[in-house]
Chains A and B, each alone.
Chain A
């Protein structure tokens, strides 16, 4: 009886949190479309989430592409199909690895930082301070971050795709001697708009997912130092897991 009751309580609590987070993100996005618009806040957030992630995305993409070049060459050469290396690298990156790895890297770098920042604002009374100055904290702090995430992730993913394919080229063509024409030439015909479109949809969803989890965790963090550190850890774990799960769901829907 005790166990059933506590299980029920736990489930109800989780569902309540989920509902609250839904209202939270809905309000934040709605507020983003209502005046006053704070373009400078949005630009600042895009700088933080987007442009400051460039280096880390660059390195990840380059080495992912290079590894794919090596592994792909090894597998394909067993069937004498080395010429398909470019297509293999490009499709794996554009359809799958680009959006997912990019989202994982951004969530590790920016997601945790967003949670910590919002949590610290909470500890130091900055939300009631905004309220007292007649500024809606959700609109001022959360909305720009969410919109910036949705804008930044597809752009970073496009950059990831480009660098990844170049990394594969570096290894395949310069190191292993695949012909340049075969690597590049087949891309245009083999990669369809559907592949790219699918990748973009994924990255849009991941952008929303990362900022949603990160801002909600920060906003609902207990107002103590332990509370904020716990929320930060939760953000990293939760975003990583949900990116992988949502990726599966999206892939099955988009195929």
Chain B
């Protein structure tokens, strides 16, 4: 389980995380939902320890991530998996080497067993037989699935997904969504998904945290969010162009700028 307490992060005066407090439960898929610029990627980077918050704490299994040394952080990261938005596969390695990489770095597992593990993970994402290919020879959706196989190769207890379905066709989106759910159930892990894709989010999520300009405006189960009476939540779910959340983000008055500049 991951617990976030009073997290604050500012960039050049913009508050990307404004006193966030929330929790991510084990065995559940929690989706961090929000528009672009809502601070959801910033939250993810702080959850993984890639970035340090200005204030507040992130507890993973009782340990505060923000106070750990690099070595201790690396120990915890061995139990974390992450699927990056662009897959982040190593372009100079074959698919096999990419997936085997964490095992080769952190374990002394013999080569033939590594081969078995990699084959199993590739079978799980439906890409067995692509071991010898280079990442550039795969489509975006296939690369994401390889990225997922690599993220789970160390059998992590927490998996982070950064926009797992963005830029994918409907079938790939469905496949990835199902994989996220199946993995979560089979391994009883903490799954954290950052997304702005509402449809697939409702399908895979147990809990949803809705962010708006660095603040949590809704936090609850899928049904709670769906039936929310908050106008901002409603607007976001329906994707309505008119509502309390403005589309434009300008400081100056529009008329003033046009008439007097």
Residues of A at the B interface (CB closer than 8 Å) are 36, 117, 120-121, 124-126, 128-129, 131-136
Contact B82 A134 (CB under 8 A): no
Any A CB within 8 A of the CB of B202? no
Contact B77 A128 (CB under 8 A): no
A36 to B75: give the CA distance in the assembly, Å.
Answer: 15
Choose one: B85, B86, B92, B105; the contact of A135 (CB below 8 Å). B105
The smallest C-beta distance from A132 to any residue of chain B, in angstroms, reads 4
Closest 3 CB pairs of A and B: A129-B88, A125-B88, A134-B74
Within 8 Å CB of B77, what residues of A? 131-134
A128 to B70: give the CA distance in the assembly, Å.
Answer: 14
Within 8 Å CB of B105, what residues of A? 36, 133-135
A134 to B102: give the CA distance in the assembly, Å.
Answer: 8
> With A124-B91, A126-B90 known to touch, is A134 a contact of B84 (CB < 8 Å)?
no
Contact A125 B50 (CB under 8 A): no
Contact B91 A131 (CB under 8 A): no
Choose one: A129, A134, A136; the contact of B78 (CB below 8 Å). A134
Count how many chain B residues have C-beta atoms less than 8 Å from C-beta atoms of the other chain.
23
Within 8 Å CB of A134, what residues of B? 74-75, 77-78, 102, 105-106
A131 to B49: give the CA distance in the assembly, Å.
Answer: 9
A121 to B88: give the CA distance in the assembly, Å.
Answer: 8
Nearest opposing residue in chain A for B105, CB measure:
A135
Within 8 Å CB of B74, what residues of A? 134, 136
User: Other CB < 8 Å A-B pairs besides A128-B50, A129-B84, 16 of them?
Assistant: A117-B92, A120-B91, A121-B91, A124-B86, A124-B91, A125-B84, A125-B85, A126-B89, A126-B90, A126-B91, A132-B48, A133-B77, A133-B105, A134-B78, A134-B105, A136-B70
Contact A132 B80 (CB under 8 A): yes
Nearest opposing residue in chain A for B98, CB measure:
A129
Any A CB within 8 A of the CB of B59? no
Which of A117, A121, A126 counts the most B-chain CB atoms under 10 A from its CB?
A126
The smallest C-beta distance from A136 to any residue of chain B, in angstroms, reads 8
Which of A120, A131, A136 counts the most B-chain CB atoms under 10 A from its CB?
A131
A69 to B105: give the CA distance in the assembly, Å.
Answer: 53
Choose one: A125, A131, A132; the contact of B86 (CB below 8 Å). A125
A100 to B80: give the CA distance in the assembly, Å.
Answer: 48
Contact A124 B88 (CB under 8 A): yes
Contact A133 B102 (CB under 8 A): yes
The smallest C-beta distance from B28 to any residue of chain A, in angstroms, reads 21
Nearest opposing residue in chain B for A120, CB measure:
B91
Within 8 Å CB of A135, what residues of B? 105
Any A CB within 8 A of the CB of B213? no
A125 to B48: give the CA distance in the assembly, Å.
Answer: 14
Within 8 Å CB of B91, what residues of A? 120-121, 124, 126
The smallest C-beta distance from A228 to any residue of chain B, in angstroms, reads 13
Within 8 Å CB of A126, what residues of B? 88-91
Nearest opposing residue in chain B for A36, CB measure:
B105
Within 8 Å CB of A136, what residues of B? 70, 74
Within 8 Å CB of B85, what residues of A? 125
Within 8 Å CB of A124, what residues of B? 86, 88, 91
